[in-house]
Amino acid sequence: MRHAILFVLLCPGLLAAQAADSAQAARAHLRAANAALRAGDTAAALGAAELAVRAWPTQVAYRLTLARFAARAGRAELAFRELDTVIALGAGWTDRDPLHAALAGAPGYAALQARMQAGVAPLARSRVQATLPDTLFHPEGIAWDGARQRFLVSSIRRRQVVAVDLQGRTVPFLRPGQDGLDAVIGLGVDSMAGVLWLASRALPNQEGYTAADAGRSALYAYDLATGTLQRRVDAAGAGLGDLTLGPDGTVYLSDDVGQAIHRLRPGAPALEAVIRGDPLLRSPQGLALAPDGARLYVADWSHGLQVVDLASGRVRTVPLDGVGTLLGLDGLVLAAPGRLVALQNGLAPPRVVALTLDAAGERVARLEVLDRHLPLATEPTLGVLTGGALVYVANSPWANYDDAGAPLPGTGWPPPILLRLPLRPQ
């Protein structure tokens, strides 16, 4: 056993590879489960779904799938066991879920459902900061311009950025499609330089998209005072998403197409890849630079919280101690040394969580739910810290499109909402 432990210590990439392999294996088992179910083999579907759960136990979707298959097979005890774990992970299900109809008459289900509903009930600790008037705006990213006391909010659909003052008044900062903008995602303000950095990429959800636009992505820099373009750095073929800034002005960007993290150093002519094609970065989203400047925390929507050593490019999973899940993380900010705040929209219901790190910054010692502002925060995405609070985009309407990126007919488009969540001093 000591030889095995020594081998792991001498091969630091082994654990990362095992984590990525576990996720890959879980997805393969789930595909096999669905194929067996389509073929009418309920027993095989149930067995494959159990293997998926064993391979990736914190993935709520797999446990719900296993519960559905178990309910369908008359295995109420197995379904109850999985649903009990779903509750412990902080998630739930609705009356429209097929498992509800299958289990509604089973002894003990009503008590289980009541416990679930209590665990996912609204927890509205935030308040409305602003409501944007354009219902088709489709917000995603947000930044704070302290010099002008305004928020800057990006648009997926309109391909622009608007400014929102503290009274909630909204005015354009960048026009739709200005300077060739595609869908605008992450934003970051460099107050010292007076610059807004933004990541843009062509997405089917944006207005005017054609197949010829596919693969276009770029990093832009704009003068905060005038909205004048200062620089554009093309990243063809990348999927630039969220970004964060280092104290020296370095821009760090996530790329969910290349499974990569890029950076642009001050004065550099082009982006450089810190890491590319890493299996742990299946869907990198929000970024937060550690106080030491040597590590970058990455919210990977599919694989949970990761940390990148910026000198070596090594990626490690940051595990959670205790019961809970770090899957489905999107926005990520460093609230204080050793404390991250994340927007977790890959869980139902979505929520805002605080992640307290251990002394080494390599494990999450505690997960605390800060906000579950339903029904307003239906899909929180990105947030920004200002004035001791997190101000975040609450209801980005990604679910309002079909698979081709076209708006679904008859779908409601509520006005975009920004929520302000006070953060307790630590």
In the listed set 119, 151, 180, which residue is the last one of a domain according to the structure? 119
Q: What is the DSSP letter of 323?
A: S
Domain that includes residue 50, residue range = 2-119
| Average pLDDT of the residues in 173-193 | 98
pLDDT value of residue 262 = 98
Q: Are 109 and 143 part of one and the same domain?
A: no
Tell me the mean pLDDT in the region 118-145: 97
Q: State yes or no: pLDDT of 109 exceeds 80.
A: yes
Across the chain, mean pLDDT equals 93
Residue 233: give its domain's CATH number.
Answer: 2.120.10.30
* 115 and 156 inside one domain: no
Length of the chain: 426
Rounded-to-integer distance, Cα 37 and Cα 385, Å: 46
When pLDDT is cut at 50, 70 and 90, the band that residue 12 belongs to is very low
**What integer pLDDT is reported at residue 22 of this predicted model?**
78
111/131 same-domain check: no
Helix 109-119 vs helix 76-88: angle between axes, to the nearest 10 degrees?
Answer: 20
Nearest by Cα to 260 from 240, 246, 290: 240
Domain co-membership, 136 together with 110: no
- Residues 204 and 228 both lie in one domain: yes
- Same domain, yes or no, for 415 and 293? yes
Last residue of a domain, one of 58, 93, 119: 119
Residues 206 and 316 in one domain: yes
Instruction: Give strand pairing partners of 211.
Output: none
Please indicate, yes or no, whether residues 6 and 58 belong to a single structural domain of this protein: yes
Residue 8 predicted with pLDDT over 60: no
Give residue-wise pLDDT tens across range 377-417: 999 999 999 999 999 999 999 999 998 898 898 888 999 99
**pLDDT beyond 70 at 363:** yes
User: CA-CA distance, 69 to 203, in Å (whole number)?
Assistant: 35
41 and 76 housed in the same domain: yes
In this predicted structure, what is the pLDDT of residue 216? 97
Task: Please give the pLDDT value at position 3.
Answer: 33
- The span from the CA of 313 to the CA of 308, in Å, is 6
Percentage of residues in the chain having pLDDT higher than 70 = 95
**Would you place residue 426 in the very low, low, confident or very high pLDDT band (cuts 50, 70, 90)?**
low
Mean pLDDT of 277-302: 96
Q: Note the pLDDT tens digit of each residue in 296-342.
A: 999 999 999 999 999 999 999 999 999 999 999 999 999 999 999 99
pLDDT level of residue 7 (50, 70, 90 thresholds): very low
Per-residue pLDDT, 23: 80
Same domain, 180 and 102: no
pLDDT exceeds cutoff 60 at 14: no
End position of a domain, from candidates 119, 149, 168 = 119
| Total number of domains constituting the chain | 2
> Which residue bears the tokens 């040394």?
337
Asked if residue 121 has pLDDT above 60, the reply is yes
Residues 6 and 89 in one domain: yes
Task: Choose between 18 and 265: higher pLDDT.
Answer: 265
